[in-house]
Each structure stands twice: as C-alpha cells, then as structure tokens.
Structure 1
Amino acid sequence: MNPKIVIRCETDADVEAIRDVTVSAFKTLEISNHTEQFIIEALRAAGALTVSLIAEFDGRVVGHIAFSPVTISDGTGDWYGLGPLSVVPEYQRQGIGRALIEEGLSRLKSLNARGVCLVGHPDYYKKFGFRNLPGLVLEGVPQEFFFALSFDGHIPQGTVTFHEAFKADGRQEGAGDAV
C-alpha cells in the first residue's frame, strides 16, 4: 500500500466525503441497490457506527469502512457487521480496502468483539479469514456470499440480523404523502 495513505477514524468534517466515496465506489456495481450511502447515514444517525474509518491520500478521502452491531438469533453477543466498504474506483486494487479491513478488525478486537460477518465477494473476503459458516445465515442472501470470522473460536448458530439502518433507501418517511 502507498505510504501516503492514512487510515483514521471519521470525523464530522468527513461526512460529505464519505458519502461521495460511497456513491462513487458503488456507482457501476450491478449487484448494488445504490443505497449504501443512505445506510451509512442511518447508522451514524442511530449511533450504530461502532467503527467508522476512512482512508486518506494526500488529504483526500478515498476509502471508507463501517462496522455496526448485529443480532444473532442464538443470543451470541458482541458480533458486528462489516459494511459498507468503499474505495473510489481510481484507488481500487492498491491495498486500501485491505488496510481498512485489517485496521477495522484490529479495532473491533480491542473492543472485545467476538466476531464479524458480512455479505461480499467470495474471492476477496476469504483472504482475511472469513468463511461461509454452516448454521449461520442471513435470510435472503445465498450462503456463498455470506461470511463470518470468529475472533474467539465460538461459532454462533442461527440467523443474523443487521441493524435496521440497512433498510435505508434515502426516501424520507412520509415524503410524497401530502395531498
């Protein structure tokens, strides 16, 4: 990775840049519903961004990663969801996503997190130790795209539910209801 890349916690001054990076990163991704920026905003508004890191190159925000709490139906606590992860297209494939993931996982471990799960590309996330775990599911997502990484060796069994903010789509409640 480029030594000019700095990974740090988001600040209030980064909010607009994070939105721009996220929109840019997902703009041409066919599997995206293009709501990732709204998810991050809803997580932030709910106080559910446990870890929110940015990657900065020469003072410009070029990447972002978010981690938020998840619920597992077997009652296992202290698990988190990774996502969205965004890197602007011209900076992709340069190790920025890897640096964001590694720093994010390190910070979660320091918070005594027990594990992380995500929806993502099989070839990418396996490099970090994420695996498809039989018995741990996210409804509506094919098992080959749902991954988990246990920090303490305990493998939860059940259904994972991501924060309510993952339903955000940018539409204001009540918008369009006026007569």
Structure 2
Amino acid sequence: MQISNETPQDRDAIFAVTQAAFKNHPHSQQTEGYIVDALRQAGALALSLVARQDGRVVGHIAFSPVVIDDGASRWYGLGPVSVSPEVQRQGIGAALIPEGLARLKTMGAAGCVVLGEPGYYTRFGFAATPALTYPGPPPEYFMAQAFTGAASGQVAYHQAFYASANSSPS
C-alpha cells in the first residue's frame, strides 16, 4: 500500500470509495462523498490523502479547518476517513490516520478534532476533552489531540459538512 496526496485524477475514485465505505454505516446520511467534494470546491480541503493498492485508490482521509469559539487557530477536523469495503479491516485506515496527523503537524497545525468511535480513535492519541465541545452527539464521541497548545470552547466544522447530493458539485 502507498499513501500520497490526492491528485485531480483521484477525485472520482475518492468519491466512489467514500460513498461505498459509508453505504451501510448506521450513523451516515450517505453524504460523506459530497462533503469531500464540497470541501475541495470551497478550498477547505487542507489535507487529502489517498491509499493505493496495485495503483487503485482503496482509501482516503480528509482534514479541514475547524473554528473554535475561543479564537484558537490552526486546528483541523479529521474526516471523513474511508476505506473500500472489500479491503476494510486490513489496516488501511490505521495507516492513513497517523500519516495524516504527522503531515498536519508538519504543516504547523495546533491540533485536530474528530467525531467518531472512541474505541477506534483513542488508539491514535485522541481523547475526549471537556474543554472542547461539539453540540449534538454524546461528548465521548467528540475527541481532540493538541499538538502545540490547548484550546477551549465549541467547535464548528466547515459549512461543507452540510453538503448533500443536491448541493455538491459531484
């Protein structure tokens, strides 16, 4: 498996992998591929990595800026992270996440947040952080990892996270 930055030629494959990865997910509204497209179109896809096997895109991870109401800057949201269903549970997501976090640190990021399964994301250094909140889901599902400093307050993801099939350019 090889991990690299997305290229313009990867866009359709990223969309297909993302939609397939979330097709049967119980907490998905099937908008994740549209979210990635909307982030890209808005110039808010700060880091977008693909995993390839035999030259084919089989995984993708996106990072985009988030806003924290204390004014903290250089914080990013991880997600979505997607792996083709036929190769899930083979370590592709587990390779994309630390690679993405390492690249974020190199870019000067102050920290990263994620909304997801605590049993999965805690192994990558994420933890529920009472100082950072996200309205809606149970607080243990919203986790953070500070790289260079603390932040506190409510976190807002980019407007692209409200994208759907009717609002996205795909």
Q: TM-score range by the shorter chain?
A: over 0.9
Equivalent of 2:163 in 159, 164, 168: 168
Equivalent of 1:105 in 96, 101, 108: 101
Q: Say whether residues 1:26 and 2:22 are aligned partners.
A: yes
Equivalent of 1:159 in 151, 154, 169: 154
CA distance in 1, matches of 2:30, 2:62: 16
Question: How big is each residue's C-alpha offset from its partner over 1:70-102, in whole Å with a ceiling of 9 and x where there is no partner?
Answer: 000001100000000000111111111011111
CA distance in 2, matches of 1:23, 1:131: 27
CA distance in 1, matches of 2:158, 2:86: 30
Q: Say whether residues 1:147 and 2:147 are aligned partners.
A: no
CA distance in 1, matches of 2:167, 2:93: 31
Shift of 1:135: 2.0
TM-score (norm 2): 0.96
Question: How big is each residue's C-alpha offset from its partner over 1:29-50, in whole Å with a ceiling of 9 and x where there is no partner?
Answer: 0110110001000000001111
CA distance in 2, matches of 1:105, 1:16: 24
Moved more, 134-143 or 105-114: 134-143
Aligned twin of 1:128:
124
CA distance in 2, matches of 1:141, 1:160: 13
Runs of 4+ in 1 over 2 A off after TM superposition: none
Report which of the two structures shows the higher radius of gyration computed on alpha carbons.
1
CA distance in 2, matches of 1:83, 1:148: 13
Aligned CA-pair RMSD:
1.0
Q: For 1:139, what is the secondary structure of its paired residue?
A: coil
Among all aligned residue pairs of Structure 1 and Structure 2, give the percentage whose two residues are the same amino acid: 53
Structure 1 residues 169 and 88: alpha-carbon distance in aligned structure 2, compared to 1, 3 A threshold: same
Aligned twin of 2:3:
7
Structure 1 residues 172 and 127: alpha-carbon distance in aligned structure 2, compared to 1, 3 A threshold: closer
CA distance in 1, matches of 2:51, 2:20: 15
What one-letter code is carried by the residue in structure 1 that aligns with 2:74? D
Give the aligned length.
168
Equivalent of 1:44 in 12, 15, 40: 40
Equivalent of 2:89 in 93, 108, 112: 93
Structure 1 residues 71 and 59: alpha-carbon distance in aligned structure 2, compared to 1, 3 A threshold: same
Q: For 2:30, what is the secondary structure of its paired residue?
A: coil
CA distance in 1, matches of 2:136, 2:119: 20
- Structure 1 runs not aligned, ≥5 long: 174-179
- Structure 2 runs not aligned, ≥5 long: none
